[in-house]
Structure 1
């Protein structure tokens, strides 16, 4: 399903750490639309197919369990369970502005109940019962281990990145397409990604997330493919630390279902009503 898919946002006492983020305009002007038409169309076809393997294009809801591993040990005391509702519609050349919104409710541990994140395409807010109002936060801030705020909500790589097909190479026991992805919008969490997609099935297998200067930030593996909503999808993403492979975080997806979600659930004001 998803990635991105790191984690240094400490949600307890977050209000002192949050910072406002400048948000660029989102509409696609004629020049951008022209550039879209000139992109590597074969790469876009591969990315689009892989996007629909990772997540459906209809409103859906899922449970996400995060577990950190350090030096070969499961840090079970830090395990988090999130309930995530997602609306995701990809823009076309006819419809200039896409719609990608997510509401993240904290289920466990008990100390985090009542906390929530709201993602509205280029913006993200955090709310807790002890706050008077939602506060803006960055997608790059860590949530847990190697997982950031922006990683826990579904992302469409085709919309977020300009892709290029680099070639084909072995990945595990299969042959994969290797693709180079460059950030399309300034607010996208990672500047660049090297992405491996299985040639025969279109299944994502690995993603290397890179800084603006090409340094590896972290590496994700898509695993445990199972039938979900009529499609084989990865139900586990393993996110490795760039420097130590024995430090990683697993993201496990469960109870994935389509759900009709009202627009009102994805407004900042709704966060104030979650505990009402």
Structure 2
């Protein structure tokens, strides 16, 4: 009898633990881990195509969810270009022609610098927490890590890029290990897979992310984090059009 009660208690505890996992809260925890209160990093992006491979290097800065800045450090033909997200606006500074371009919301779904990542992927214009509803749909191992599988559907009137996102997030460390991106008809467009868990500053994160379009054989984009620092001393004034022209 005592053993039966203990077994029942254990089962109930497992059920309650599972029910207590709020998918929206899991998404928020994963974003907090990736971004911190602020961040600064260096990355390398390799764009793979059937006939060529192109590599770019860049620096990035972020403050909360409203401010992102990316400065391209190479190759020479792209060096000096800067992308800025400031709240709901995004700009691109092109030094070769001394031109500042404001990117409209309609361009958030376009490929960034010829890669398989979108403008929204890089500057996170849309909020994975606020612009979507979240549903726990499963559990699965990705690259050896037990993950929650969460389905995200855009809220009515949300101006987002994707018709649906499925995302796999680590159960203990909240790593974003995999994502599937669907169009408005729920047709799979591309997948992202992360790997190479690495110590960056005060936390571990996947160092490598591979974005693969579904209907373009031989195409993929590989993003590798080389260095990341978190909770750095950044202010909103750093994320300005004036600073886009002088940041290095």
Shorter-chain TM-score range: 0.7 to 0.9
> Match of 1:157, SS?
coil
| Counterpart residue number, 2:76 | 110
Count of matched residue positions in the alignment of Structure 1 and Structure 2:
222
Match of 2:13 in 1: none
Distance apart, 1:41 and its partner CA: 6.8
- For the Cα contact (< 8 Å) 1:134–1:271, is it kept in 2? no
Residue in 2 that maps onto 1:176: 147
CA contact (8 A) 1:198 1:205 kept: yes
CA contact (8 A) 2:177 2:206 kept: no
CA distance 1:154–1:254, change in 2 (3 Å): farther
Q: CA shift at 1:218, angstroms?
A: 0.8
CA-CA distance at 1:198 after TM superposition: 2.7
**Pair member with larger Rg:** 2
Q: Please list the CA deviations of residues 144-172 of structure 1 after superposition, one character each: whole Å capped at 9, or x if unmatched.
A: 33122222235763244321111223445
Unaligned 5+ segments in structure 2 are: 1-19
User: Which runs of 4 or more aligned residues in structure 1 lie more than 4 Å from their structure 2 counterparts after TM superposition?
Assistant: 130-133, 272-275
Aligned partners of 1:145 and 1:109: how far apart in 2?
A: 14
In the aligned structure 1, how far is the partner of 2:196 from the partner of 2:34? 12
1:36 match: none
Instruction: Name the SS for the 1:152 alignment partner.
Output: helix
CA distance in 2, matches of 1:273, 1:174: 42
* SS at structure 2 position matched to 1:220: strand
More helix by share: 2
Which runs of 5 or more structure 1 residues have no equivalent in the other structure? Answer: 1-39, 90-99
CA distance, structure 1, for counterparts of residue 196 and residue 67 of structure 2: 26
**Change in 2 beyond 3 A, CA 1:111/1:54:** same
Residue aligning to 1:141: 110
CA distance in 2, matches of 1:173, 1:43: 21
**1:221–1:238 contact (8 Å) kept in structure 2:** yes
Q: CA RMSD in A?
A: 2.6
8 A Cα contact 1:122 1:188, kept in partner = no
